[in-house]
């Protein structure tokens, strides 16, 4: 197939796309990053349709296969990338079907490549302790940054959920927080005494100085507004540079650490699923591969017969 790096230049404005993006942003409450990802995937697809003079409202199975082939051969995309892009298109067509604009979608019939099994990366506890020691808690921003790290690890929330926490969502006596997660679904997460101590110190000192706009959000930026997910990522990048840790770290990696450490300490999978806000146990079960590897390592190091070589 002809290799063309970018079909986006053949995209023309699409009223249905704008309605779909409004739908996932307002009704589904998807984060801005997720909405942008859907937008980029669909603009590329609609540009592909325009280039080949396909009507996106009349896509056949053969035309859907042609786009799949383009992702394989034209882009050389990985299985995970292809699955994500096709998933975006399927969601778009399901939305059109719900409005009775189309009857069905050929993309629902496509067989997608199997995703590579990639285990979540996580931090060892001693690495987290090093991270926690970096913020300068004599400053307002340092108090905020220290609490961000503690809250991510204590609760396992997504960074998009973290920045959405308001003071009224927190129960100090019960040490729990109401979290508005994906798809507008509410769940409860918990925190510990160490996190509570940092939280109270931040509220009584740093946040009080930063809150010039009388915001209800827990985490504020230096101008008094609520902090963004991108800024949290930047803060973590700045902190990691001051440590001896030689890893690429993201806020989601702390979420992985939360789940892995709970399972390693004996927490059951169903409880971890509920704390993470996963819809199905399948998404959570990926962490059992990590804990199984950990158990094997412990076994080989500690069992008397495992330490001995066969003669």
Share of the chain above pLDDT 90, in %: 64
Could you tell me which residue, 3 or 179, shows the higher pLDDT? 179
Residue 2 has pLDDT above 50, yes or no: no
Tally Cβ neighbours within 10 Å of residue 18: 11
Helix/strand number for the chain, H first, E second: 14, 3
Q: What is the pLDDT of residues 33-55, one digit of tens each?
A: 899 999 999 999 999 999 999 99
Q: What is the pLDDT of residues 275-299, one digit of tens each?
A: 999 888 888 887 776 666 666 666 6
Tally Cβ neighbours within 10 Å of residue 162: 22
* CATH 1.10.443.10 segments of the chain: 125-300
Q: What is the pLDDT of residues 61-86, one digit of tens each?
A: 999 999 998 888 877 788 888 889 99
For residues 148-175, average pLDDT: 96
CATH classification code of 8-109: 1.10.150.130
For residues 11-33, average pLDDT: 91
Ranking 123-127, 159-163, 244-248 by mean pLDDT, the lowest is 244-248
Reading the block at residue 284, the tokens are 């959570």
**Rounded distance between C-alpha atoms, residue 19 and residue 296, angstroms:** 51
Contact 222, 141 (CB under 8 A): yes
CA dihedral sign of residues 218, 219, 224, 228: negative
Does this model's pTM top 0.85? My answer is: no
First vs last Cα of the chain: how many Å apart? 58
Question: How high is the pLDDT of residue 309?
Answer: 59
Per the prediction, the chain carries an average pLDDT of: 88
Of residues 128, 123, 131, 137, the one with CA closest to residue 204: 137
Confidence band, pLDDT 50/70/90 cuts, at residue 1? very low
* CATH 1.10.150.130 segments of the chain: 8-109
Confidence band, pLDDT 50/70/90 cuts, at residue 310? low
Catalytic positions are 158, 182, 252, 255, 278, 287
Question: How high is the pLDDT of residue 311?
Answer: 47
Of residues 242, 251, 292, 298, the one with CA closest to residue 269: 292
Residue-wise DSSP of 211-259: -TT---BSSB-TTSSBPPHHHHHHHHHHHHTTSS--S---HHHHHHHHH
For residues 17-30, average pLDDT: 93
Residue 3 has pLDDT above 60, yes or no: no
**Rounded distance between C-alpha atoms, residue 217 and residue 220, angstroms:** 7
Could you tell me which residue, 186 or 110, shows the higher pLDDT? 186
Could you tell me which residue, 108 or 10, shows the higher pLDDT? 108
Tally Cβ neighbours within 10 Å of residue 307: 9
Tally Cβ neighbours within 10 Å of residue 97: 14
CA distances for 58 relative to 5, 105, 150, angstroms: 24, 9, 51
Of residues 166, 156, 179, 174, the one with CA closest to residue 256: 156
Reading the block at residue 280, the tokens are 């199905």
Q: What is the pLDDT of residues 165-187, one digit of tens each?
A: 999 999 999 999 999 988 788 99
CATH classification code of 125-300: 1.10.443.10
Contact 236, 249 (CB under 8 A): yes
Share of the chain above pLDDT 70, in %: 89
Residue-wise DSSP of 7-65: -GGG----HHHHHHHHIIIIIS---HHHHHHHHHHHHHHHHHHHHTT--TTS--HHHHH
Q: What is the pLDDT of residues 213-266, one digit of tens each?
A: 999 999 999 999 999 999 999 999 999 999 999 888 889 999 999 998 998 888
Question: How high is the pLDDT of residue 235?
Answer: 96
Question: How high is the pLDDT of residue 104?
Answer: 77
């Amino acid at each position: 197939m002809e290799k063309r790096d970018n079909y986006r230049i053949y995209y023309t404005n699409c009223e249905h796309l704008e309605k779909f993006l409004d739908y996932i942003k307002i009704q589904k409450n998807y984060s801005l990053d997720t909405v942008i990802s859907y937008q980029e995937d669909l603009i590329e697809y609609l540009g592909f349709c325009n280039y080949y003079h396909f009507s996106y409202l009349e896509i056949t199975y053969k035309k859907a296969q042609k786009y799949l082939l383009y992702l394989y051969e034209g882009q050389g995309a990985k299985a995970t990338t292809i699955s994500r892009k096709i998933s975006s298109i399927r969601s778009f067509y399901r939305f059109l079907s719900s409005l009775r604009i189309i009857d069905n979608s050929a993309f629902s019939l496509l067989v997608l490549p199997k995703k590579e099994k990639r285990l979540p990366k996580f931090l060892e506890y001693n690495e987290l302790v090093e991270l926690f020691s970096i913020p300068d808690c004599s400053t307002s921003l340092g108090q905020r940054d220290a609490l961000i790290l503690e809250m991510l690890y204590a609760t396992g929330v997504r960074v998009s959920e973290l920045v959405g926490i308001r003071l009224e969502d927190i129960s100090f006596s019960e040490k729990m927080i109401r979290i508005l997660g994906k798809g507008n679904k509410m769940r409860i997460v918990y925190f510990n005494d160490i996190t509570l101590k940092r939280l109270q110190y931040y509220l009584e000192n740093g946040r009080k100085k930063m809150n010039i706009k009388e915001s209800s959000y827990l985490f504020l930026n230096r101008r008094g507004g609520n902090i963004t997910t991108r800024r949290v990522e930047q803060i973590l990048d700045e902190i990691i540079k001051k440590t001896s840790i030689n890893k690429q770290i993201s806020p989601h990696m702390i979420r992985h650490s939360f789940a892995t450490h709970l399972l390693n300490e004996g927490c059951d999978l169903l409880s971890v699923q509920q704390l993470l806000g996963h819809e199905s146990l399948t998404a959570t079960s990926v962490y059992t591969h990590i804990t199984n590897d950990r158990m094997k390592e412990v076994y080989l190091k500690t069992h008397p017969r495992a330490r001995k070589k066969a003669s």
